[in-house]
């Protein structure tokens, strides 16, 4: 992602294809760590650099820029907390930082097709974390 390797020792990664999502029950996290409170969710995101080469053997990412267009969503209790419309390969790496209130229970990350078909529509969420504070 933007020339940096993820999925190794210190750079965890979650890769999602368009039209998929994952929901985290924040209350389950709170119950397992009762001495801490969740203050925010943070991550970097973008389209992986090598996605096109893996499909075609062609390393010319610019030639494939029109293929991967997707929308990135982060929801808190089903309500939009973050939305990036029409993410494509022209966007390298971006950051997300979303405050989380005590009463919010579900954090959802979702990726949807940007309107041109879902072939090659992958997004990387790297270094995803919940920021925890001692009460």
pLDDT in the model for residue 29? 97
Dist. CA 15–CA 122, nearest whole Å: 7
Mean pLDDT, rounded, of the chain = 84
pLDDT one-digit tens code per residue, 6-32: 887 788 888 888 899 999 999 999 999
Question: Both tokens of residue 63?
Answer: 């030639």
Q: Quick one: which of 84, 74, 64, 81 has its CA closest to 110? A: 74
d(CA 123, CA 53): 15
Q: Which residue has the tokens 């929901």?
A: 23
- Report the alpha-carbon distance of residue 13 to residue 95 in Å, rounded: 14
Q: What pLDDT does residue 78 have?
A: 97
At 53 the pLDDT is: 57
pLDDT in tens, 39-76: 999 999 988 876 655 555 555 555 555 567 888 999 99
Strands 79-87 and 106-113, sheet pairing: unpaired
């Amino acid at each position: 992602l933007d020339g940096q390797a993820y999925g190794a020792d210190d750079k965890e990664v979650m890769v999602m294809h368009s039209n998929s999502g994952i929901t985290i029950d924040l209350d389950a996290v709170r119950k397992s760590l009762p001495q801490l409170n969740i203050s925010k969710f943070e991550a970097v995101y973008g389209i992986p650099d090598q996605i096109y080469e893996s499909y075609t053997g062609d390393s010319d990412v610019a030639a494939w820029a029109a293929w991967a267009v997707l929308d990135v969503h982060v929801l808190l209790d089903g309500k939009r907390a973050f939305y990036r419309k029409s993410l494509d390969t022209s966007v390298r790496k971006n950051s997300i930082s979303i405050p989380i209130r005590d009463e919010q229970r579900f954090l959802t990350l979702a990726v949807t097709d940007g309107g041109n078909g879902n072939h090659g529509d992958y997004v990387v969420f790297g270094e995803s974390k919940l920021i925890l504070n001692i009460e």
